[in-house]
Amino acid sequence: MDTEFALRCAAALLTAAAATELSIRYALRRQLLDLPGQRRSHRLPTPRGGGIAIVIAVLGCALPLLPLSLPFRWLLGVAVGAVAAVGWWDDHRPLSARARLAIQAPAALLLAYLLLQLQMPAGLLVVAALMVLVLLSTMWSINLHNFMDGINGLLTLQASWMFALIAVLGECGLPHGLGLAPAAMAAACLGFLPFNFPRARVFMGDVGSGALGMLIAAVLWLAAWREPRWIAVGLLLGSSFFIDATATLLSRYWRGRRWYSAHREHLYQWLVRGGRSHARVVGYYMAWNGLLIAPLSLVAARNESLWPGLAAVVVAYVAGSVLWWRARLAVLAGARHRA
C-alpha cells in the first residue's frame, strides 16, 4: 500500500506539473492573459487557465482511486468536468452568471443523485431536503472558491490543505470511504503550486477554481454520507474561506452594494491592498489552518459523537468572524492613517 500510495501521488503531481507547463505555453500563444486592473491584485500581465492541469491530474489520476463503481466514478468525473468546461470557456470568452449557473446547477444535482445511489434516506421529504441542501451547498462551494482565488497560491494551498487533512484524518480513525483519492488530489494541487506561488507564472483561472469548488463539495459530501462527523470536520477544514467569503457577501449586502458583482473586498484582498505581500497573506490563512483548525479537526475526528465537532465549529466560526471584523477594521484604519 505504501508503494502504491507513493506512485499514485507522484503520478498526480507530475501530471499536474507537466500539464501546467503546457497550459502556460498555450495561454501565451493564445494571448490568454489577466491584465492588471482596479479589481486585480497583480501588476503584470499573467497567463490564466493553468487550473486545467489540476483538472486533468484529478480526472486521470485521483478519481480512478475512488473505491466506488466505475459508472459512479464516470458520472462524478462528468460533473467535475462540466464545471471545469464552463470555467475554461469563461477564461477564453467571459460568460454571463446565468450561463455559468445553467451548467453548475445540473452538475450539483448530478452529485445529489449519485449520493442517493449510495444510500437512499427514508422519507420523501428527507430526500427532497437533502437534494436541495446538496444543490445549494455545492453551487456555493463552486462560486465561493472562485471568489477566493484572487492572490498567488491562496486557493491552491487551501485545496491542498483540505485534501491532505481529509486523507490524514481518515488514517486517524474518521472513515471517509474515499481510499487514496484525497491524497492524490492534494498531490495534483501541489504539482501546480510552484507555477503559482510565491511568484505566479500562471493563474488558475475559472477552469481550476470552479472545478476545485465542485471537487471539494463532492469529497466532503461523499465522506459525510458515510460518516456524519464529516459535516462538522468539513466546516472546520474550509472555515477560513467560508468565513471570509460569507462575511464579505453579508457586509456588502447590508451596505446596499451589488453583492453579486466583482469586487476587491474580501479580507485577503484588503490585506494585500494594505501593503502586505501575497506570500504573507497566504501565510496568515495557513497559520489559521495549522494552529487552530488542525487541532479542532483532530478533536472532532477522535470523538465518536457529532457534538464535540459541532462545538468546535461554533468556536472556530465565532473566533474567525471576530478576527475577520477586527482585521478589516485595522486595515481600514491603516489606510486612513496613510491618507
Is the separation of the CB atoms in 160 and 213 below 8 Å? Answer: no
Query: Does the pLDDT at position 1 exceed 60?
Result: no
Q: What is the mean pLDDT of residues 185-197?
A: 97
Higher pLDDT among residues 107 and 1, named by residue: 107
Is the separation of the CB atoms in 112 and 135 below 8 Å? Answer: yes
Q: What is the mean pLDDT of residues 293-318?
A: 93
Give which of 153, 158, 157 is closest to 201, Cα–Cα: 153
Query: Does the pLDDT at position 167 exceed 90?
Result: yes
Query: Does the pLDDT at position 42 exceed 70?
Result: no
Query: Does the pLDDT at position 107 exceed 70?
Result: yes
Q: What is the mean pLDDT of residues 24-50?
A: 82
Q: What is the mean pLDDT of residues 176-196?
A: 96
Q: What is the mean pLDDT of residues 87-96?
A: 94
So what's the pLDDT on residue 138?
98
So what's the pLDDT on residue 275?
87
Q: What is the mean pLDDT of residues 2-27?
A: 93
Query: Does the pLDDT at position 304 exceed 90?
Result: no
206 has binding-site annotation: yes
Q: What is the mean pLDDT of residues 139-166?
A: 96
State pTM to two decimals. 0.94
Distance (Å, rounded) from C-alpha 172 to C-alpha 170? Answer: 5
Query: Does the pLDDT at position 39 exceed 90?
Result: no
Query: Where would I find the H helices in 238-293?
Result: 239-254, 267-273, 278-288
So what's the pLDDT on residue 45?
86
Give which of 247, 252, 248, 218 is closest to 234, Cα–Cα: 218
Distance (Å, rounded) from C-alpha 276 to C-alpha 249? Answer: 23
Domain ranges of the chain: 2-338
Instruction: Please state, rounded to an integer, the average pLDDT across all residues of the chain.
Output: 92
Q: What is the mean pLDDT of residues 87-92?
A: 95
- Per-residue pLDDT tens over the stretch 278-295: 999 999 999 999 999 999
Which DSSP state fits 65?
G
Cell of 21: 507547463
